[in-house]
Structure 1
Amino acid sequence: MQHIIDRFISYVTVDTESDPNSTTTPSTAKQWDLANKLVDELKQIGMQDVTIDDKSYIMATLPSNVEHEVPTVGFVAHFDTTPDFTGANVKPQIVENYDGKDIVLNAAENIILSPSYFKDLLQYKGQTLITTDGTTLLGADDKAGITEIVTAMEFLINNPEIKHGKIRVGFTPDEEIGRGAHHFDVEKFGAEWAYTMDGSQIGELEYENFNAAGAKITFKGKSVHPGYAKGKMINSMIIANDFINALPEDETPQETKGYEGFYHVHHLKGSIEETVLELIIRDHSKKKFEKRKEKIEKITAKINKKFAKQFGEDIVIAEINDQYYNMKEKVVPVKHIVDIAEKAMKEVNIKPLIKPIRGGTDGCQLSYMGLPCPNIFAGGHNFHGKYEYVPVESMQKAVEVIVKIAELTAQPNYSLPIPKSKKK
């Protein structure tokens, strides 16, 4: 257990926050700090063909130790952390034998991680938790995934009696800003399929995700002295507020679950003359996804029509860009790769939680790039904020799942769960 803790802490204490406003890859120079560290570590544990390209994409190989032909399987994780909350100066706290009560993250700021609010904590009574100190995020998203992949590869190298095929490992930058797969060389990676170790609680196994788009809405205005503004001033902030109020109030992240889609306003900055609103659009259904984008365009058109005479040109400009699509379309034709992961979990005494991702991973884009890529739990909770934590036992179990997948796919005729429809 201590080995996993030490490795994880060595990763999360390196600041790798990505930047959506940057045009470089990686988007921040500091991501190279962990990337170079990972390259050295992969070489030290005995991985082969360890490479890092000019955009910091890392790949490595664990050669097959069986004579017969078996598929090449990959495992992928990202080393950047979200810009939603600071990842600088992370100071992890270890909570051993968690007693099910409140955890004081920061006494001075009265920041409490409480099971009365975060009920998932109660699943981990008696376990060892790693938390933040209440001033930063933790970075389990996705440095827990990296920890698990590196640890699993090290275990297989140190235990050659465990048979496995060729395994490819890939670590990416900028996943948190939607660019993690943009420069991923699928052909070079050379795997028949892969798994992202980027899910949350133990047991998660996902092969469905949102269709996703981002929208930038710019509102124009006219600034006039307020004492003489009658019939002349146009306050862009008020128009932006009207736009937000025109969105369905019950279709936000905090009001939806499961397969329900949403609109999420995440940034708003303005003045009388100009206001810029940024939002994301999400839906599992492609049809509903398209209707959501149409909704944005209809609200835009309605406001423009209202102000056409007074403003003289479009007062609202909407830019909508698709980000990624539901991987289900690409994974279902090769559903056996999900069955393998499910079987692996069951064989290491984990109850699989097969459900849709209310978000996205590198695997979403990779699946459309020719590398089918379901998502497996990495163990963390409350990502992207100061209440983030990860149970060490969940990371250990993720390592076991990776090892078991390697074993199962190395069998000459690896057995899969029989679909219920085929059982007699």
Structure 2
Amino acid sequence: MNRITINRSRLLDRFLRYVRIDTAADPNSDRYPSTEKQRDLALVLAEELTAMPLTDAHVDDNALVWGTVPATNGGNTPTVAFVAHLDTSPEAPSHQVSPQVIHAYAGGDISLPSGNDITVAGCPALQKLIGKTLVTSDGTTLLGGDDKAGVAIIMELAHTLIENPQLQHGDVRLLFTCDEEIGRGTDKIDLEKVDAMVAYTLDGGGAGVIDVETFSADAATVRFTGHNIHPAIAKGVMVNAMRAAADFVAKLPRTKQTPETTSERDGFIHPHTLRGGVGEATVELILRSFDTDELVTLAEIVRQTADAAAEGTPGVQVDVAVRRQYRNLREGLETLPQSVGLAEKAFENLGRSCTQEIIRGGTDGSQLTEKGLPTPNLSSGQHNIHSVTEFACLDEMVEATEHLIELLSLWSDQRC
């Protein structure tokens, strides 16, 4: 077993540098990346990889960062790829992140400079982190640990491998993507360029978790078209699309099949954006289920509800467009059982317990797996993601880096 001391202070410094760079995605942009500020971090990473040195480190035209740590075992073993995303969620403020480092967390609620608290009641995982080093924001922004914790772990892994050529591994491909948070993380990935047998996303919470299932996901856009005219002369002429849109949202399931009323393996319909006016109003929704076939049922509920809402406002026209997003991770991982089995074995070799879990969401790995590259998701020390009370645990990030080193050793014993 490979026992290498991870450089904690260097890993922490990396993470603090990365989270200070605002990389929020923009769901309303039709560009890739959706925000040019994601390229700012991409250029930083490529420069750091080149300095390690990785001779092929570069940022491509789509702001994806690529690099390879060459094999030390003579080759003829599988190439393993590690993937994390540069962007952060647009669902919370991300400008001028001010990270706060808590050394030897003493327990109890954490008060942030903004006056917000990270509470034990709201995050029971804190009870297991006493004595650990935690990083929070100041409470006015998210931290960006999703997924800059994963980015920092992979960068530190690469640096550690370069410094320790005695560690046995095949080619290690590094890939940092954009726009994962808005469902476009794999849009510009060339799998022939990845050229790996297996990949792992470092985009999970806590420690010791292997995510082996995700939701299957579709999105729906429901557009109501009415007729606008000055309200002074509107009688018998105006057709208010907003009323139909409001009726539609109100008629959707409320006591079940919503994010607010479901957990574990239950699916849902989630209307998340409503915009427009009298002439046209649009509702954006996401449909989620661990059973891919159930997405058809959820889409039919949306269509029937939209039709009923349109009928309630005579003259309104409605259009429902459903589009595929990603499919359950499990379906593709079954083609390469070692992708999960060796990850479990690496934890065992390190004397650590692990669990297989499901994600009530998706990762870049969901789409990569569907495209033919089995990609489980691994823990990266994130907590309270997409929130101004988000934090990361440095000790869990160190453990994640150690796990990747052991995992590469196990893949080094495999043959192509």
Query: Taking structure 2 as the reference length, what is the TM-score of the superposition?
Result: 0.93
In the alignment, which of 145, 148, 153 is matched to residue 143 of structure 1?
148
In the alignment, which of 161, 164, 178 is matched to residue 173 of structure 1?
178
Letter in 2 for 1:162: L
Structure 1 counterpart SS, 2:342? helix
Q: In the TM superposition, what are the counterparts of 1:322-341 in structure 2 within 5 Å?
A: 322-341=324-343
Correspondence 1:120 to 2:125: yes
**Aligned match of 1:257:** 263
**Aligned match of 2:41:** 34
In the alignment, which of 273, 282, 293 is matched to residue 287 of structure 1?
293
**Aligned match of 2:72:** 65
Letter in 2 for 1:302: A
Structure 2 counterpart SS, 1:400? helix
In the alignment, which of 176, 186, 191 is matched to residue 186 of structure 1?
191
Shift of 1:64: 1.0
Distance in 1 (CA, whole Å) between partners of 2:233 and 2:187 is: 51
Structure 2 counterpart SS, 1:286? coil
| Percent identical residues | 38
Structure 1 counterpart SS, 2:247? helix
Check whether the contact 2:214–2:327 (CA below 8 A) recurs between aligned residues.
Answer: yes
Distance in 1 (CA, whole Å) between partners of 2:224 and 2:120 is: 42
Check whether the contact 2:149–2:397 (CA below 8 A) recurs between aligned residues.
Answer: yes
Check whether the contact 1:106–1:112 (CA below 8 A) recurs between aligned residues.
Answer: no
Letter in 2 for 1:317: D
Shift of 1:306: 4.3
Structure 2 counterpart SS, 1:242? helix
Residues 221, 393 of structure 1: alpha-carbon distance in 2 compared, 3 angstrom cutoff: same
**Aligned match of 1:5:** 12
Letter in 1 for 2:389: Y
Q: What 5-or-longer segments of structure 2 have no aligned partner?
A: 1-7
Letter in 2 for 1:376: L
Structure 2 counterpart SS, 1:304? helix
Shift of 1:10: 0.6
Distance in 2 (CA, whole Å) between partners of 1:130 and 1:239 is: 46
Q: What 5-or-longer segments of structure 1 have no aligned partner?
A: 415-424
**Aligned match of 1:422:** none
**Aligned match of 1:17:** 24
Q: In the TM superposition, what are the counterparts of 1:365-376 in structure 2 within 5 Å?
A: 365-376=367-378
Distance in 2 (CA, whole Å) between partners of 1:413 and 1:22 is: 43
Shift of 1:339: 0.5
CA RMSD of aligned residues (A): 2.0
Correspondence 1:204 to 2:206: no
Q: Larger deviation: 219-228 or 286-295?
A: 219-228
Shift of 1:327: 2.2
Shift of 1:233: 5.3
**Aligned match of 2:52:** 45
Check whether the contact 2:245–2:283 (CA below 8 A) recurs between aligned residues.
Answer: yes
Structure 1 counterpart SS, 2:266? coil
Check whether the contact 2:76–2:415 (CA below 8 A) recurs between aligned residues.
Answer: no
Distance in 2 (CA, whole Å) between partners of 1:111 and 1:267 is: 27
Shift of 1:227: 8.1
Distance in 1 (CA, whole Å) between partners of 2:51 and 2:328 is: 37
Letter in 2 for 1:284: F
Structure 2 counterpart SS, 1:147? helix
Residues 322, 68 of structure 1: alpha-carbon distance in 2 compared, 3 angstrom cutoff: closer
Distance in 2 (CA, whole Å) between partners of 1:361 and 1:116 is: 27
Check whether the contact 2:74–2:170 (CA below 8 A) recurs between aligned residues.
Answer: no
Deviation track 1:384-423 (CA, whole Å, cap 9, x = no partner) reads 1201101111100110111111111112579xxxxxxxxx
Distance in 1 (CA, whole Å) between partners of 2:232 and 2:355 is: 61
Shift of 1:199: 0.9
